[in-house]
Amino acid sequence: MTETVMLGLIGDNITRSQSPKLHRTAGILAGLHVTYERLIPKDMGLSFDEVFEQARRSGFRGINVTYPYKEIVAASVEVSDPLVRAIGAVNTVVFDPQGPKGFNTDYTGFMSAYRKVRGTENPGTVCLIGTGGVGKAVAFGLIGLHTREIRCVDLDPTKARNLAKALRALGSATVIKTYSDAETAAKGANGIINCTPLGMVGVGGSPLDGESMKGAAWVFDAVYTPVQTPFLQDAAHLGMTVITGYELFFGQGVDAWNIFTGVQLDHDALRVAIQGDDL
């Protein structure tokens, strides 16, 4: 009898998340029986910590963590990777007998997404809107891509400054600046990135209007439900290269799968298997 691999996702507003589909399909392709549950604390009438502990005690192999808990969970797990400790956000947890281990596949997933669309081209000067959990991971991914300049934008100036401090501590050649206004930060930028919930199903909106985006060459939106957000639609209308949140979703998902199971996958076969109208 095939052993069941129990996985799950803790987050808010995740009823349309495609993570269950990705991991269950990966299980089928790998010959494993995989269950993957959506765990929404407010719907369960529990706190994040209570849901986390319930998953651990229930025999889950691991969980993914999404908005708004990526920074919260970092305090509850052991993180061995110094880069992930510097990011300060965790999106993948493995329940080890010695205790929960934390990882971040958002930054590797973003790098894969960027390279898939733009190859080896330098990102240039990038306006990064939103410095929460996913914003931190994407920023570290931008460092890995040798971005010339990152403009960290957040309505909370302390969050932007803290991210800038962490990025500068890496000692890279990337210039780091902070802004509280996205329109100002977007002026003269080569790339514009949305790492806020704006545009997500149930949230709506956009971090910038089309007029403020003019002049940029490319955009990326971390939101992937829906894939074509108003932000990306405006960018496409202006002729910019678009990198969708789906590419980040796929990249972080296969990296998380490898952490959960260690079983190699045919990524092309998985991509084809999970594509559908519900994306």
Q: Are 259 and 116 a contacting pair, CB within 8 Å?
A: no
State how far the alpha carbon of 92 is from the alpha carbons of 27, 158, 192, 212, in Å.
17, 26, 26, 35
Residue 220 gets which letter from DSSP? Answer: E
Query: Which pLDDT score, from 0 to 100, does residue 225 have?
Result: 87
Query: Which pLDDT score, from 0 to 100, does residue 10 have?
Result: 98
4-104+250-274 against 107-243: fold identical: yes
Give average pLDDT by consecutive 10-residue segment, the chain, 279 residues.
88 92 97 97 97 97 95 96 92 97 96 96 98 95 97 96 96 97 97 96 93 97 93 97 96 97 96 72
- The answer to whether 67 is a known catalytic residue is no
What letters, b where the CB count within 10 A reaches 16 and e where it falls short, cover 40-57?
bbeeeeeebeebbeebbe
Query: Which pLDDT score, from 0 to 100, does residue 16 have?
Result: 87
Domain spans, the chain: 4-104+250-274, 107-243
CATH number of 4-104+250-274, picked from 3.40.50.970, 3.40.50.10860, 2.40.420.20, 3.40.50.2300: 3.40.50.10860
CATH number of 107-243, picked from 2.40.37.10, 2.30.30.140, 3.40.50.720, 3.30.300.170: 3.40.50.720
Q: Give the span between the Cα atoms of 146 and 175, in whole angstroms.
A: 10
Catalytic residue (one of 67, 69, 107, 246): 69
State how far the alpha carbon of 223 is from the alpha carbons of 2, 66, 112, 231, 258, in Å.
35, 11, 16, 10, 23
